Structure 1
Amino acid sequence: MGEIPDDGRLHPAIIWISGGFGNDIGGVWGEHPADNDQAATPFRKAGVVMMFPSQRGGNGNPGYDESGFGEIDDILAAADFLAKQKGIDTNRIYLGGHSTGGTKVLLAAECSKRFRAVFSFGPALSMDNYGAEELAYDTKDKRESELRSPMNWLPSISTPVFVFEGKGGNAEMLQALSELSENPRNPYTHYYLIRGKNHFSVLQPVCKLLAAAVVADTTAKVTMDFGEALSALK
């Protein structure tokens, strides 16, 4: 977790779940390339406290990789820990993630109202979209996949969720999720397909907009809207 300023003020914070397989965390605190910033550095540079939790089985933690099942409990436990730290505004804890991390944070949003807003980059319809060779459960077991399928639980979302993907990335996944959120319509979900970006290059420019929005998000109700700003991205 990043350093929390000891200035007597309460600060916003975000928990970030990086992409890839396995539950370790690596070099998240250094500089990252503009076209693949999986550590979402704009939040840190904007002064938002960042937490990168390793999940079960990762970095020597007990348990084992469950590919998006028990890890959701780990994410919620990380939020509980973060909320107990001095200097954290408990009403302004956000959650974000990319790729497999984006899928996990979408699942977390579907089962909890713990976060003020959730930012999901490039999620899948289901964990089994990633391929059986990458996953720690029996993908032939229909129930195991159903439990890890964000597309099945979209109506349960009741906190603001913003989903992003580059047009050159997994655009069909975003389009499918968007259509499922329309039947029935869920007003808490927002989907953005970013032209001129792919699954990776979408991260840094969009996170810059999100970081600024988080810093400015001090009203009682979340009023974020990124449509106009995202359409202007180059």
Structure 2
Amino acid sequence: MLTIRKFYALALLAVSFSQSVLADSAPNPASFATFRKQFKTQVSYEGDDRRPVGNSPGSLFKAVRYPSEVGTLAAMLTLDPKDGKKHPAIIWITGGDSNSIDGTTLSRGMPRSNDQSALAYQKAGIVMMFPTLRGGNDNPGKHEAHFGEIDDVLAAADYLAQQPWVDPARIYLGGHSTGGTLVLMTAEVSKRFRAVFSFGPVANLRSYGKLMPVNFDKMNYADQIARAPYYWLPSVQSPLFIIEGVSGNIDSLELMRSKSTNPHIQFLSVKGASHFTILAPGNDLIARKILLDDGAVCNIKLIENEMINELSKK
């Protein structure tokens, strides 16, 4: 969790794989939720980080546990400000081992050039929840390579909506890298979130190589297609922003852009930014937009030039 990984030269195999998913036997790409309900994955593995989440210095967050289909899972959650108000909230999924988090590291923040903490939201007064997922930290279950983990993210949203200081109509979802891919896939399953912000995802989980210890060549067809998020882009039914720096993992973004006609999805390729430097300016900008997004429906709009301007700020 929060380990810097060089994703710039990921070997995308999604293009060749797309030839098979367009076969007559492929499921309807507009129904990822239905596909998942009818399919049980055969993929699972033990995670490397089985330590407890740890503490949040200065009580920035509190450790909680939320219910899921595999048992109670750990999370870090913003403290109740006790001001009697309902606040907007965001669930953030970290990169690297997205199933595990380090509560101590998250609370410290990071350099602006690589701020994977996403603390811009907490600093803006937005409630933050960092959920752990099945098989991560000291949780029950096993990793499923972004399959069952989607259900855990949705369970975290249900828990967050029940907190007295959270506005259940203004819950957002964001994530970076592997976390960005998971939130993208969650947006393909559910319109539960007011908007979703996916930083640096991949078009096909094959691209992660050894980062996910599974053998795609030996996977059955359904397990492979369940982990090809570019295929399920037609399923998205609520605002989704896919964001990456031009010098980052941009090939995946452009592949998905070329295949999508979904009006709910916006792709932002940001000049002058990388897979990591896009995070601080991007989250600063989004946090401000969330505070202004208080109408009946989401009114957030992002443009690439806004993020380019944010890059120049210290």
Which bracket does the TM-score occupy, shorter chain normalised? over 0.9
Distance 1:89-1:22 versus aligned 2 partners, 3 A rule = closer
Which stretch shifts more, 13-22 or 159-168? 13-22
5 Å matches for 1:1-234?
1-21=77-97, 23-26=99-102, 27-131=105-209, 133-140=210-217, 141=219, 142-181=221-260, 185-227=261-303, 228-233=305-310, 234=312
Distance 1:191-1:170 versus aligned 2 partners, 3 A rule = same
2:80 and 2:293 mapped to 1: Cα distance? 18
CA contact (8 A) 2:272 2:308 kept: no
Alpha-carbon displacement from aligned partner over 1:181-220 (angstroms, at most 9, x marks no partner): 1xxx211000101111100010000100000001110011
SS of 1:222's equivalent in the other structure is coil
2:96 and 2:143 mapped to 1: Cα distance? 12
Using the TM superposition, give the Cα deviation of residue 36 of structure 1 relative to its aligned residue in structure 2, in angstroms. Answer: 1.0
TM-score normalized by the length of structure 1: 0.95
Larger Rg: 2
SS of 1:232's equivalent in the other structure is helix
TM-score normalized by the length of structure 2: 0.71
CA contact (8 A) 2:237 2:264 kept: yes
SS of 1:208's equivalent in the other structure is helix
Using the TM superposition, give the Cα deviation of residue 143 of structure 1 relative to its aligned residue in structure 2, in angstroms. Answer: 2.6
2:307 and 2:139 mapped to 1: Cα distance? 38
* Paired AA for residue 180 in structure 1: K
2:172 and 2:107 mapped to 1: Cα distance? 18
CA contact (8 A) 2:187 2:196 kept: yes
CA contact (8 A) 2:98 2:179 kept: no
1:37 and 1:145 mapped to 2: Cα distance? 32
2:179 and 2:143 mapped to 1: Cα distance? 13
CA contact (8 A) 1:118 1:161 kept: yes
SS of 1:52's equivalent in the other structure is strand
Seq. identity, %: 46
Distance 1:127-1:90 versus aligned 2 partners, 3 A rule = same
CA contact (8 A) 1:31 1:41 kept: yes
Name stretches of at least 5 consecutive residues in structure 2 with no aligned partner.
Answer: 1-76
Alpha-carbon displacement from aligned partner over 1:27-80 (angstroms, at most 9, x marks no partner): 211121101111111111111100000100111100011110111010000000
2:266 and 2:204 mapped to 1: Cα distance? 18
SS of 1:90's equivalent in the other structure is strand
CA contact (8 A) 2:98 2:132 kept: no
SS of 2:112's equivalent in the other structure is coil
Alpha-carbon displacement from aligned partner over 1:67-115 (angstroms, at most 9, x marks no partner): 1011101000000010111111000000000000000000000000110
Using the TM superposition, give the Cα deviation of residue 221 of structure 1 relative to its aligned residue in structure 2, in angstroms. Answer: 1.9
Using the TM superposition, give the Cα deviation of residue 136 of structure 1 relative to its aligned residue in structure 2, in angstroms. Answer: 4.2
CA contact (8 A) 2:92 2:130 kept: yes
Using the TM superposition, give the Cα deviation of residue 232 of structure 1 relative to its aligned residue in structure 2, in angstroms. Answer: 2.7
Q: What root-mean-square deviation, in Å, do the aligned CA atoms of Structure 1 and Structure 2 show?
A: 1.2
2:296 and 2:98 mapped to 1: Cα distance? 37
CA contact (8 A) 2:99 2:133 kept: yes
1:164 and 1:25 mapped to 2: Cα distance? 23
